[in-house]
Structure formats: C-alpha cells, structure tokens
C-alpha cells in the first residue's frame, strides 16, 4: 500500500519539479538568443520568440510545454536549434549512463570491501591506513585527480588515451576520476554501518549460539551493515548516471553532464527543464527502489 502511494505520488512530484524548474530558468535575466552569432535584427528575434511561444504569458508557455511533455516530447532546444531536447538526451545519455555505471561499480567494488575490512580491524593499523585512504580520496576532488591522472598515466607513461570516448581503454581514467570520490564515501558508510551492526543484539545472539566469526560477519552482519550504502546509492547513482561536468569536460566525453551546465548558462530553457526533469525522475525512482530493497533486506523495516 505504502509503495503504491509512493508510485502514485511520483507524477505529482515531477509536475512540481517541472514547474519549479520552469519558473527558475525563466526568472533568469537575459534570453536564449542573446549570444547569437549572426547579428539578430529585432524582427528576427521577435519571430524566434514567437516561434517558441516566448512572447506569450508565462503560464501559457508552461501549458504549451506540459502539453508537449505529455506526448513524450521535451520540446526543441533553443540553442542547438536543429535538434530537439529529446535528440540531445538520446545521444548523450547512453554515454553518461555507461560511464556513470562503470564509476558506480568501481565505487561499490572498492568501497564495500575497504569499509568491511577496516571495520573488522577497528583500531589496528589496517583500519588507520584504510580509513585514512577513504577520507583522503573524498578530499581530492575530480578536478584535481583528473588532471593528475591525465598528466601521469596518459601523457607521461602513455598507458591510456588522453581524452575522447570509444574503446573501454578510453573509459578507464574517466571512471577512476569519477568513481574515486564515491568509493571513499561508500567505504566510510560501510565501515560505520558495520561498526554499528557489530554492537547489535542479533549479532550477540549469533555469537552466543556459537557461530563462526566468518559466518557472523558475512551472513548476518553484512546484510544489515550495507543498508547505509544502499540508501546512499540512490542519490549516488542519480548523480553518476546524469553525467559529471568536470569529467566530461576534461576528457571531452560527449555525455549530458556538460549540457546541464552549458544550457543553464545559455538560457536554453527547454533543455534545462528537460535535464532537471530527467535527473529528478531518476532520483525519485532510484530512491523508491532503494526503499523497496530496504524492506526486503531488513526484516525490521515495515512500511504501512
């Protein structure tokens, strides 16, 4: 019942998000045709505005937009005028999805074992080294580690291509740049979850039953200890899958992360609202999935 209500409220939330995003971009000073290369005469600009309904009242414009949206059409891009927003997203999204998913796998694949290991060895030197590494990785943002990786592995050692997108070989440095930060976050969450779980009563019960330490850690503790990681993976995936400006800009990758920034700067209204909606839809859907998985994994969780 709870999940049915959540699912039914999704369209309403997305409607609110689209309205808010619409108001937000339209409240920006300046317009999408300010930086045209051709010197636009007032007539041309007036025609352009009429073509895209920009001369009508704001609510009427929103009505037009919604009508198109219900037909699955995000509208034309106001900046890249031969392309629709749907086209641009359809072209860039697969790239961002691939890169984001690779980075997610890296973050989880490195973060969970590291967090698990440091928690089990709490207070000993593997814990200090591992925990410090996890924190250090969080403190070195992509815009620092990316150029350093490029300079060292691509330019000096020539192991990997400097930029562009194509073979799996091209994906390694961007994946590292994007995923390292998140692997640190995952490791810290995993460690904390594990430490909290090891004090829980059901673990004491398992110990007093005489279960082996490995069985306790992996079969009983891990499932509950990974829950913080699970709830973080909703927003993390939404961030990763919609692309990262820094990584796409640095490695010249044709994803949609660059568009999120550039279309806001260009006042490409339809593009911004489309991308915001995409992000919101992804985040809300992922959070729903995470809560659903929560109920499956943790028998103590009950939604009514």
Partner 1 sequence: MTEHLTPNQRAWRRFRRNRGATMAAALLLALVAIILIWPFFSSPSFASVVPAAMAHPPNKLSDAQFNPPNLQHWFGTDVLGRDLLSRVLYGARISLFVGLVGAAVSLVIGVLWGAIAGYCGGRWDGVMMRFVDILYSMPSIVFVIVLIAALNAVIGRLQTKGSPLSAGTIQMVQFAGLFAGLGAVSWLTMARIVRGQVLTLRRRAFVDASRVLGASHARILLRHILPNVYGVIIVYLTLTIPSIVLYESFLSYLGLGVQPPQASLGSLIANGAEQINSVRIYWWMIVFPGGMLALTLLALNFVGDGLRDAWDPRGDRAN
- Contacts with partner 1, residue ranges (CB under 8 A): 13, 16-17, 20-21, 24-25, 27-30, 135-136, 138-141, 143-148, 150-151, 155-156, 162, 195-196, 199, 242, 245-246, 250, 260-261, 264-265, 272, 275-276, 279-280, 283-284
Q: Of the two residues 76 and 184, which places its CB atom closer to partner 1 in the complex?
A: 184
Nearer to partner 1 (CB atom), residue 261 or residue 289: 261
Q: Please identify, using beta-carbon distances, which residue of 134 and 172 lies nearer to partner 1.
A: 134
3-class secondary structure, 15: helix
In the bound state with partner 1, the residue whose beta carbon lies nearer, of 44 and 136, is 136
**Closest distance of CB 180 from partner 1, Å:** 12
Least distance CB 276 / partner 1 (angstroms) = 6
Closest approach, Cβ 56 to partner 1, in A, equals: 21
Q: Kindly state the smallest distance separating residue 111's Cβ from partner 1, in Å.
A: 16
d(CA 116, CA 98): 27
Q: Which C-beta is closer to partner 1: that of 81 or that of 122?
A: 122
Q: How far apart are CA 268 and CA 72, in angstroms?
A: 19
Find the DSSP H helices in the chain.
2-26, 42-51, 58-70, 85-120, 125-139, 142-149, 168-198, 201-208, 213-215, 222-225, 227-241, 245-250, 257-265, 269-297
Q: CB within 8 A of 250, min separation 6: which ones?
A: 142, 143, 146, 147, 150, 163, 174, 177
């Amino acid at each position: 019942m709870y999940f049915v209500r959540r699912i039914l409220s999704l369209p309403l939330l997305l409607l609110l998000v689209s309205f808010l995003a619409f108001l937000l971009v339209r409240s920006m000073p300046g317009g999408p045709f300010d930086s045209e290369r051709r010197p636009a005469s007032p007539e041309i600009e007036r025609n352009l505005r009429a073509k895209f309904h920009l001369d009508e009242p704001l609510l009427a414009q929103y009505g037009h937009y919604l009508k198109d949206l219900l037909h699955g059409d995000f509208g034309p891009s106001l900046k890249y005028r031969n392309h629709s927003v749907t086209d641009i997203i359809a072209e860039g999204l697969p790239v961002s999805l691939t890169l984001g998913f690779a980075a997610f796998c890296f973050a989880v694949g490195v973060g969970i074992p590291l967090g698990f290991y440091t928690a089990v060895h709490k207070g000993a030197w593997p814990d200090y080294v591992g925990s410090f590494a996890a924190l250090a990785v969080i403190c070195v943002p992509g815009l620092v580690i990316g150029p350093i990786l490029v300079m060292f592995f691509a330019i000096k050692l020539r192991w990997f291509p400097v930029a562009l997108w194509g073979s799996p070989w091209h994906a390694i440095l961007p994946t590292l740049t994007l995923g390292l930060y998140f692997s640190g976050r995952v490791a810290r969450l995993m460690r904390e979850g594990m430490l909290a779980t090891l004090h829980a009563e059901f673990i004491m019960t398992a110990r007093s039953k005489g279960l082996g330490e490995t069985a306790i850690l992996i079969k009983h503790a891990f499932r509950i200890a990974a829950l913080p990681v699970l709830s973080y993976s909703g927003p993390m995936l939404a961030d990763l899958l919609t692309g990262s400006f820094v990584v796409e800009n640095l490695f010249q990758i044709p994803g949609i992360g660059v568009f999120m920034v550039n279309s806001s700067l260009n006042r490409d209204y339809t593009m911004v609202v489309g991308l915001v909606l995409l992000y919101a839809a992804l985040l809300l859907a992922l959070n729903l999935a995470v809560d659903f998985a929560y109920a499956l994994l943790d028998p103590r969780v009950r939604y009514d």
